[in-house]
Amino acid sequence: MADKDNIGTFDLSRRKLLAGLGAVGVASAGAGLGTTAYFNDTESFDGNTLTAGQLDLLVDWQQTYDFGEGDQFVSAHPDHDGDGEQSVEIDGEVFRYSDFPDEEDEDSNGANLPVLDCENIPPLEEADFGTDPVTGEEMGSLVQLTDVKPGDSGEITFSLHLCDNPGYIWMQAGNVSDDGGTFTEPESLLQDAGVGDLGDAIQAKLWYDEDCDNVYDPAEPVDIMLTLDFSGSMLYDQYGGVVSDDDIAVSGSTYAETTKIDLVELGTRQFVDYLQSQASDVQVGVTYFDGEGSDDTVPRTGVIQSLTSDLSLVDAALSGLRQKLADVVTGSQPSSPGDGDGDPNPFANASGIATGTYIGEGIDDAQADLDANGRPSAAKRNIVLSDGESFNGTGSTTFSSPTGAATDARAASPNPATDVYTINVDGSASTLQAMAGPAGGAGGDPTFFNDVDDPLNIPTVFGNLAAQTVQEKVIMDDSLGNILAALADGNGVPLDGNRATPYDELGDDPDHPTRDPFEGNGVMHCVALSWELPFDVGNEVQGDTLAFDLGFYTEQSRHNDGTGPDLPA
């Protein structure tokens, strides 16, 4: 691992908290170099500093238990009133898990609170592990159920937030002990004393709970419009379109610099490729929006590809976006971009192009296509990406308010009711967040909003949205004993920050190129573990005890390759 031997020189610490049986452990460390050197024309060099960056992993969760009376809240973090349901008080207002239901999932109570972030998640040492709903006994650790019967089941969804820097994350288990415990007379007729069978008897599932609702979600039919910003600031250096001077390969071409629209092309094509690889029941279409036309009265927006189940057509529509954007912003091909009339050189003189964006018109175009070509049985989704403000440019065009257009789309005005997801690429975050929300619901829902400070994270955002479209990815579906064994092996199970990549958590190496680190800045990712003791389990498990620790380990992605900490020889 690059620079691993030098990490200690920055006085970094690894913090791991394990509270015993079934405890949750969290590792965090600070690492990195940054400088704030102020150079001026007097040639003095004042105030130079080296500051270690931060990598802090915060974990919250909601745990449920069904002992024959339906799912009961067991414990949560945070839980401001100690009733077992995730809740937090922010500026005098109380937010609860059950206040955020998944209206399309009748089995869902809600979702781990989307309002939680690195500023308001309490430290793990403040966690309240709740009360066993069967025995009424206080639980001193995360999982401490003492009267489990055949037919009982439970589930925990962990919400992971990497604060500040991106990093790799592993899920771990330790101190696993499957003990025969109390040896009852019925059990003695089946086996010798001391044999633990509970771990093998409990069936369990470990998966990425993409919507953080404590429920495994299979695939459902969905119609999706990708509504993309084609304004000059997505391409031209003059308006901040160039992200870096690193080479990038897209659509068979290699460019000497990376622009925002290149990253959109990579992300959206990866999105489509993943849906195709999963044989998803989807239709996908593509719309775009820019500023005003040459006569200052017509917004330059349109549909590149109407909704279709032929994802190869969508992939073609998303190929060569540099040229298609250049055609749009020059006004030469507003209705069918891609014919090659515009100048795609990001360093070309872009002074004559429109810089305003008509986000609302783009949403209206997408909504019209969903209405005309969507399937009655499919959920509707619009994914809107923009890097700027929506305004009226310099002409007299009457334009649709982006928040108004999004409100109409969510409310089925016109039909159909549509989930609106938004991606802000260092633009108007307040507007795009106000637009985001579920079909039939209000805007401003942080679960549907993605704030991208670094455009290099655009492909990862599209990857995670693709993972929310298909059935949630199962890491392991086996006995609880075998899952714990995998989590306890080596460094644990390496988790993937982008589920749309074909990474195999159990079969691929941790540094495999398809494994991505998790985003920083507190972006929420959820991992879930469910378990059930089947009804047909016999007397052999009476009195058995399964003890284990659970934990997560993280390390910064910069200067590390994802192989994890060196294990002792």
Three-state secondary structure along 163-176? EECCEEEEEEEEEE
Residue 443 and residue 432: Cα distance in Å, rounded?
A: 9
Radius of gyration of the chain (CA): 26
Mean of the pLDDT values across residues 167-180?
83
pTM, two decimals, is 0.72
Question: What tokens does 26 get?
Answer: 């969290």
Confidence check: pLDDT of 160 > 80: yes
* Kind and range of the H or E run holding 423: strand 419-425
Mean of the pLDDT values across residues 204-222?
91
For residues 352 and 436, membership in a common domain is answered with yes
Does residue 391 fall inside a structural domain?
yes
Confidence check: pLDDT of 324 > 60: yes
For residues 424 and 533, membership in a common domain is answered with no
Say which DSSP state 351 is in.
T
What does the H/E/C string look like for 64-121? EEECCCCEEEEEEECECCCCCCCEEEECCEEEEHHHCCCCCCCCCCCCCCCCCCCCCC
For residues 398 and 456, membership in a common domain is answered with yes
- Boundary (domain end) residue, out of 468, 493, 521: 468
For residues 194 and 232, membership in a common domain is answered with no
Does residue 255 fall inside a structural domain?
yes
pLDDT of residue 336: 64
Q: Band the pLDDT of 85: cuts 50, 70, 90.
A: very high
Q: Band the pLDDT of 15: cuts 50, 70, 90.
A: very low
Does residue 327 fall inside a structural domain?
yes
Domains in the chain, number: 2
- Boundary (domain end) residue, out of 428, 450, 468: 468
pLDDT of residue 383: 98
- Boundary (domain end) residue, out of 444, 468, 492: 468
Residue 365 and residue 382: Cα distance in Å, rounded?
A: 11
Does residue 380 fall inside a structural domain?
yes
Does residue 16 fall inside a structural domain?
no
For residues 254 and 126, membership in a common domain is answered with no
Confidence check: pLDDT of 333 > 50: yes
For residues 383 and 513, membership in a common domain is answered with no
pLDDT of residue 28: 24
Residue 208 and residue 218: Cα distance in Å, rounded?
A: 12
Domain containing residue 381: CATH number? 3.40.50.410
For residues 175 and 252, membership in a common domain is answered with no
Confidence check: pLDDT of 500 > 90: no
Mean of the pLDDT values across residues 270-283?
92
For residues 242 and 367, membership in a common domain is answered with yes
Range of the domain at 304: 222-468
Confidence check: pLDDT of 121 > 80: yes
Q: Residue 472 in contact with residue 210, Cβ under 8 Å?
A: yes
Taking the CA atoms of 375, 412, 425 and 230 in sequence, report the sign of the dihedral they define: positive
For residues 523 and 400, membership in a common domain is answered with no
Does residue 211 fall inside a structural domain?
yes
Does residue 566 fall inside a structural domain?
no
For residues 269 and 149, membership in a common domain is answered with no
Does residue 362 fall inside a structural domain?
yes
For residues 213 and 229, membership in a common domain is answered with no
For residues 255 and 192, membership in a common domain is answered with no
